[in-house]
Structure formats: structure tokens, C-alpha cells
Structure 1
Amino acid sequence: MKNPFILLCLCLIISSCQQSKDNSSKKKEVEIDTLDKTIEVNIPSNGETNRDLSQIKFVEQEQLMPFLRSYAKQNPENVVDIITDLGTFTVELYPEPILHRANFIRLAKLGYFDTTVFHRVDDNFVIQAGNSDRIGTHDFRSAVGDYLIPNEFTSKYPHDYGALSAAKYAEQNVSNASSPFEFFIVTKPDGAYHLDGDHTVFGRVIEGMEVVEKIDDVETDKSEWPLTNVGLDMKIVD
């Protein structure tokens, strides 16, 4: 049975995208996570993670921008392999949405996404990942921080076919701030430009779009949750 807390968060995020479809002193160096970034996250059958999450720095909203800007300088990578149960595709992260790029790289290195699945598939519109009904996903979120990422809209990066964009919470979000945990990829062949200005595009698929299409074709229930979980793992390429 899906965890009620996770489902509540999922519903809030889905409702946003669904509605869009229908309509002079030197500052102290910001502390960065000390967690070993090379250890893989394993999810036992009970859905719990075997990682000691107490080592992860919890980030408050007030700390977010200086923290992520510092993290971005120390972690400049922008190419990531997303390894799924249906194959691997590669995304390139754009440099300008600096907060979104840094946050995505941080969560990938920490292993957060390895606990998640593609939890929403809307055929010929988007596939969305970064959530699950596993205890490990909820525990990871609690350890990482309770924050939203300020939007970083730019007309330079519209919601083209294959665009990588950030999901958002629907309610009480007049600034269109992004969820730090969930992302989606546009599978609408002629783009989803009605989402421009509502969601921040921060990357694109550069290889393996056929894998994205396979995920886009999976059977789902009425809530657009795939009947068979499509898990994912992330590998930093460059």
C-alpha cells in the first residue's frame, strides 16, 4: 500500500502540472555534505534505505541559495546517465539555472534518486520521476531539507520535446518555486510550451530518447502511476 504522506505530496505536485496541461566582508564558506558520494544506495524489500542519512546536511530555506551556489562551484558536472529498468538515457544540465543544476547534481550524488521511480506517466505529454511509496524516499527527503527552489525561468530554454524540467507544488505557490525532488521530461512531440513560465527547464535529453519513449508507453492506473515500477539510478558522467 502506498505511503499516505508520499501520496499527499505526489498529489500536490501532479495537480500543478496537470492544471498546466489543461490550461564587503568575506562570507563564511558554506558547509557541503560530507556523505561519501561513491556508496550505492540499496533498497531492501521493505523499502528502507541502508544509508546512514544522519550524515547529510539538512538545508533550511534561508540557507538554500548560498548553499547551492557554493555547491555549484565545487560540483561543476552537467552530464548524467539515468539508468532505468527499460534502458539508459543521458541528460545535459544547463549552466544558467544554477540552483536547479546544483540541486539535481547534489541529489544524484547523494543517491536520493536511486530510491525513487517514474511515478507518473502521461502518454505523449510527460514522464515524471523523483518520488515513490518507499520509506527510504520519505526518509531521504526528511534528511535533505525542507525547501523549495526559486524559479529560474529563461526564454532560452523552452519546453521542447526532450526538455528536462522541474515539477512544482500546486497550492500556495504563487512564485512557481520548484520541488527539489521531482523532475519531468517532455514527451509531447511538438513540445509543451504552455508550461513555459510555470516550470523551470534546466536540461535536456541528449541521448537515449527511445528509452524515454519506452517509459512513456508503459501502462498506468487512473492516477498515471505505472502498474509496474520503473526504477532509476543515476551516474555522473561529466
Structure 2
Amino acid sequence: MITILYSFLAVLINTFHAPPVQVEMVTNCGTIVLELSDKTPLHRDNFVKLVEDGVYDSLLFHRVINGFMIQAGDTESKYADSLASVGSADLPYQIPAEIVPDLFHKKGVLAAARTNNPQRASSSTQFYIVQGKIQNDSLLAYNEGRINKMLARHFGVNDPANKPLIDSLEMAKNQKDSVLIKELDLRLNSILDNYWNFDKYSIPEDQRKVYKTIGGTPHLDQNYTIFGEVISGLEVVDAIAAVETDARDRPLANVRIISMRIL
């Protein structure tokens, strides 16, 4: 009787468990289908709402770096002319970081852009899709060092022992005391560059294998929130990444999101 009950409950749970959300992104270079991760529900739900509200329709891919990533979501880019500065606009809120250890920057992942804030909170609208490069052991070792350098700065900035210095630096900036700003900034950077009070990160072996086969951008791991991946249209990501850009990494010919919809 108990076995039958457990079997019934298992079927019931599977019946009502919703499949991952999929999003169709139509661009003037082709169509990309994204699958959102249930492991990052805040980012998933925010992205769904933005898609349903039509926020992304007609926005540009404003930052494109071949061998790295393609970025969009600047809310002011829809009508931006070729001389306009783009890349700094979004909606007036941030999403708390949802950094999940087993989500990593392999080719095709969808992740949230962010400012250099101590909480690693994400932009409300700006996202990037990883193109990246094939890695080898030497590159992975180098990028592991870059990951730990960013983690050292993150944990160092959030260490209560460093708060008085950071507060003093902020006060000097408010007072526009350039001499004091330079002095305190040098002191803080020296502390952060040598900060050690955290668990050093090592790229797991299963992730190393993926980086050495399909590629990615491992130096961003553990510092930015990944919330989905491309399940169709990687060739479109490659095509966008290959367009000619200016010194600001903006495509010379507009690459535009025509529309997005939930599938």
C-alpha cells in the first residue's frame, strides 16, 4: 500500500512540475531559442516579465566582442543613432546575485550583466550570451587565477575589517579630495590584491572538459549570475559575434532584437 502511494505521489509531482521556460529571440541575424534555469528563479522570473512586457523588442546588441560574448538590454538603445553612447541604461532596480556553482560560462550560456557593485547584483535588463573560445590546461590555469583575483576583491570589499577604509574613500570622493582619494585608493587596492581570507576556487574537472571541447569564458565564473542557455541558434550567436565593430565594441551595422516571446 505504501509503495503504491509513493508511486502515485511521484507521478503527481512529475505531472505538475512545469518544464523549463523557453524564450524565442528573433534578431535580424536569425533566431535564437533560450532555455531559462530554474536554479536562478529571481533572474528567470524577471526575464520572463521583461519579455512579456515587450521590453526587449527592438533593442540593440550594443556590445559585441568576437571570441568573448554578445551583450544587449540597454533600454535606451532602441532609437540610438550611430554616434550615441549606449550600454549604461536599464530599469531602476537590480536583481540580487544568484551565483550557482554548477552553472558556468560555457559557450551559449545566458548571463546577467552588472556594475562593479560589492553585492554582485545584476542589471535589471542587460544580459550577455557567451561565445568564448576553446580552452587548454594553460588557459584554464590562467583563468582560474583571474577568477580568484575577482573573488579576493569581492570578499575583501565585504570584509568588515576593511569597511572603515572604504567609508573614508567614499567620503573623500564625495568631498572631491583628489589627493586623499589617490592615497586611500592605493591602500585599498594593495589590501584587495593581497587578500587571502576566502576559499580559493578550482575549476571542477567536468567543467574543464566542457571548456576544452566547446569553449567558453571561464574567467567570469563565480562572479556573474548565469540564468539560462541557448538550445537552438548557436550559429546566430557566432554570426553576431563576427560582425564588424567600432572602437566601443558596438556593431557598425545595427544588430537588433526584433522580438522575444515565451514559447
Q: What is the TM-score normalised by the length of structure 1?
A: 0.62
TM-superposed deviation, 1:118: 0.5
Q: Partner letter of residue 122 of structure 1?
A: I
State how far apart, in whole Å, the 1-side matches of 2:23 and 2:237 are: 14
- Does the 8 Å CA contact 1:77/1:236 hold for their aligned counterparts? no
Q: How does 1:132-171 map to 2 (within 5 A)?
A: 132-134=76-78, 146-170=92-116
Give the number of aligned pairs.
156
Code of the residue aligned with 2:34 in structure 1: it is V
Give 1:218's match in structure 2, choosing from 243, 247, 253. Answer: 243
- Contact kept, 8 Å, 1:77 with 1:105, in 2: the verdict is no
Partner of 2:27: 84
Structure 1 Cα separation of the partners of residues 251 and 232 of structure 2 = 23
Which of 65, 79, 91 is 1:122 aligned to? 65
Tell me the distance in 2 between the aligned counterparts of 1:209 and 1:119.
19
C-alpha distance after superposition, 1:64-117 (max 9, x if no partner): xxxxxxxxxxx9861001100010010100001000000001000000001311
- Is 2:165 aligned against 1:184? no
SS of residue matched to 1:90: strand
Native 8 Å contact 2:20 2:35 kept in 1: no
Q: Percent identical across equivalent pairs?
A: 41
Q: 1:228 aligns with which of 248, 253, 263?
A: 253
Query: Structure 1 runs of 4+ off > 4 angstroms?
Result: none
Q: Give the 3 Å change call, closer, same or farther, for CA 134–89 of structure 1 in structure 2.
A: closer
Q: For 2:253 and 2:96, how far apart are their aligned partners in 1?
A: 33
Aligned-pair Cα RMSD in Å: 2.2
Corresponding residue of 2:226:
201
Paired residues of 2:20 and 2:37 also in contact (CA < 8 A): no
Counterpart of 2:260, as a letter, is M
Q: Can you give the 5+ residue segments of structure 2 that lack an aligned partner in the other structure? A: 1-17, 81-87, 134-214
Q: Which amino acid aligns with 1:146?
A: P
Letter in 2 for 1:147: Y
**How big is the shift at 1:155?**
1.0
Gaps spanning 5+ residues in structure 1: where? 1-74
Q: Which residue of structure 1 aligns with residue 44 of structure 2?
A: 101
TM-score (ref. length: structure 2): 0.56
**Does the CA-based 8 Å contact 2:62-2:77 persist in structure 1?**
no
